[in-house]
Amino acid sequence: MKRIFALIVPLIALIAIGYKGYNIYDVGRQNDKTDISNTIVRQTNEIIDIVDTFNNLFMGIVNNEFENEAMTQTTAMFFVEAASKRLREKTQSARDHLGRIEGRDNPELDSYVTNAETLLDGYDDHATSYDKVYDLLSTAAGGYEVYGHDVAGFLNATYEKIDGLSINFDTARAAYLE
């Protein structure tokens, strides 16, 4: 009986150690997934901040209303001149990061990264809208206010597309993190 007991106790200890080791591995794997996800989300949030800033400036130009009371239409035009360039630089930086992610053989990660890339394409389209809006406003004759509807149309057209892509991105992120 003592021999059986002497064999069972170490066996139970080995099982417990193995289970604990598996849990540590599983927690580490989940932390890696969370780190990758948070990095991608952080980069998309930076892009969203850029988009919000420039959208507000463009609409401020046509409405002559700015969050910063010292801002003028002329000063805002100076800032938005580089809007599309700044947005494209940030999306390219995010793309470069996505290209360095390893483990794309994981279907959930691949789907998540693919959706992130598609979302970045949507932001590139938005940068093209910035070009159109800037061209329209920079050649405006007689005041910016008459172009409010056109500016809103350009910005909203791609923004609605981005909203749909964001939903797909969030869904892929949730599936990856499960």
pLDDT single digits (tens) 135-158: 999 998 778 888 889 999 988 888
Give the torsion sign (CA, 173, 160, 64, 134): positive
Confidence at residue 102, expressed as pLDDT on a 0 to 100 scale:
78
pLDDT digits (tens, 9 = 90+) for 10-39: 656 556 555 555 455 555 667 788 888 899
Interval 87-116: pLDDT, tens = 999 999 999 999 888 777 788 899 999 999
Residue 175: C-alpha distances to residues 110, 121, 158, 161, 167 (Å) = 11, 21, 26, 22, 12
Contact by Cβ (8 Å): 83, 137: no
C-alpha separations of 18 from 32, 84, 113, 176 in Å: 21, 54, 33, 26
The pLDDT value given to residue 158: 86
Integer CA distances (angstroms), 84 to 33, 57, 155, in order: 32, 13, 12
Between the two ends of the chain, the Cα-to-Cα distance in Å is: 46
How high does pLDDT run on average in the chain? 85
More confident residue, 16 or 47: 47
pLDDT tens, position by position, 55-76:
999 999 999 999 998 999 999 9
Cα–Cα dist 22/20, whole Å: 5
Does residue 78 have a pLDDT over 60? yes
- Claim: this prediction has a pTM higher than 0.75: yes
Q: What are the C-alpha distances in Å from 114 to residues 73, 122, 123?
A: 39, 13, 14
Residue range 112-134, pLDDT digits in tens = 999 999 999 999 999 999 999 99
pLDDT at 164: 92
Q: How far apart are CA 144 and CA 72, in angstroms?
A: 12
